[in-house]
Amino acid sequence: MTVDPNTKFFIQLVGATGLVSGVVVALFNHLITLRKSRADRRKVEQDIEMGKLQMILLKKQLSDNTEGISETISYYQTNVKERILYDSNVRDVGHDFTSKGGHVYSREKGIEVKSQDRGKGEAVFQENTINLKRTNTTGRFELWLDNYMIENKRVNFIPKDEINGIKRNFKLSLYAKTIGADHTLAFTWKGIEKDKGLILQRKERVINTTEWYPVTLYFTINPTEACKLRIDDYNLTAAPSSIQLKDILLVENLA
């Protein structure tokens, strides 16, 4: 059978068109696969970055808690029976804290030296949140907790307890964040009877995140001293700046 030239050309054209169509489809599928591959790769890269961030936060939390291992073990070495001494979520913090500026003290060549200026700023209280606005970087700004629940009574300090043991174990938890600078918080238990300048225990945390960061601290205190908690803000890297605290919870292990 003889095929005329026009028919032959048409058959070749159809075949070529089919080939091109196949190439186009294959190329389209390849682009879709490549796009998916790139999207998957981006997702993997994002997951890796998120994992790195989580590891950084975990290392920071572990580092923060390392110095308190002995107090943590002491707190949990017996069956924990707790009583809540203070909970900002059921209080208005404006009625429970007093604030003032103070000096920072250091020792130089065996001599105690105080900072030239007191810490300056103001504490703004709103429901269960404290917003401490600092206007200078020197000195410290003090927050004194003046409200504790002891045996169903509200008192402005924790009385001594010489009957129930040789130590008292406290756990303090809260959330903190900063705006505009890094801030250092010092959590200090101060004696108020025998020696008002006596520091029973002191721990520090550097806060350098704009997201709410959990802080948990454990303290072991001499029960023969009446005491109260002071939170100092100092060693900030810039001013004006602020640090905020919320969800402040103080409990005592009675076991």
Annotate 192-227 with DSSP letters as a single string.
Answer: -SS-TT-EEEEEEEEE--SS-EEEEEEEEE-TTS-E
DSSP for 87-135?
EGGGS-GGGTEEEEEE--EEEETTEEEE-SS---EEEEEETTEEEEEES
Single residue among 32, 50, 66 that ends a domain in this structure: 66
Q: Which of 115, 123, 161, 176 is nearest to 140 (CA)?
A: 115
The three-class DSSP label of residue 51 is helix
Q: Could you tell me if 41 and 74 lie in one domain?
A: no
Assess whether 106 and 227 both reside in one domain. Answer: yes
Query: Both 162 and 192 in a single domain?
Result: yes
Measured CA to CA, the distance from residue 191 to residue 228 in angstroms comes to 7
> Residue 30, SS3?
helix
Query: Given a cut of 80, is residue 2 above it in pLDDT?
Result: no
Answer whether residue 210 shows pLDDT above 80.
Answer: yes
The reply to whether 53 and 154 lie within a common domain is no
- Say yes or no to pLDDT of 14 above 50: no
Structure-model confidence comparison of residues 53 and 138, the more confident one: 138
- Are residue 36 and residue 82 in the same domain, yes or no? no
| Domain closes at, from 15, 48, 66 | 66
Strand, helix or coil for residue 231 = strand
pLDDT of res. 194: 63
- Token pair, residue 214, equals 């959990």
Whether residue 3 is found in the same domain as residue 109: no
Question: Can you give the pLDDT at residue 127?
Answer: 87
44 with 93, same domain? no
Tokens of 110: 């065996």
Q: Using 50, 70 and 90 to split pLDDT, how confident is the model at 45?
A: low
66, 95, 119 - which closes a domain? 66
Is residue 102 domain-shared with residue 10, that is, in the same domain?
A: no
Spatial distance between the Cα atoms of 111 and 134, rounded to a whole number of angstroms? 28
- Does residue 7 have a pLDDT over 50? no
The domain that holds 147 is classified in CATH as 2.60.120.260
pLDDT single digits (tens) 113-130? 888 899 999 999 998 999
Mode of pairing for the β-strands spanning 105-108 and 148-150: unpaired
pLDDT in tens, 49-76: 555 555 555 555 555 555 555 565 555 5
Q: Comparing C-alpha atoms, which of 148, 235, 233, 152 is closest to residue 192?
A: 148
| 228 or 105, higher pLDDT | 228
Is the model more confident about 14 or about 180? 180
Residue 155 and residue 224 in one domain: yes
Tell me which residue range forms the domain holding 184: 69-253
What is d(CA 24, CA 5) in angstroms, rounded to the nearest whole number? 28
CA atoms of 154 and 110, how far apart (whole Å): 42
Residue 232: pLDDT band (50, 70, 90) is very high
Residues 20 and 130 in one domain: no
Number of structural domains found in the chain: 2
Q: Are residues 27 and 111 in the same domain?
A: no
Quick one: 86 and 62 in the same domain? Answer: no
Residues 240-255, mean pLDDT to the nearest whole number: 94
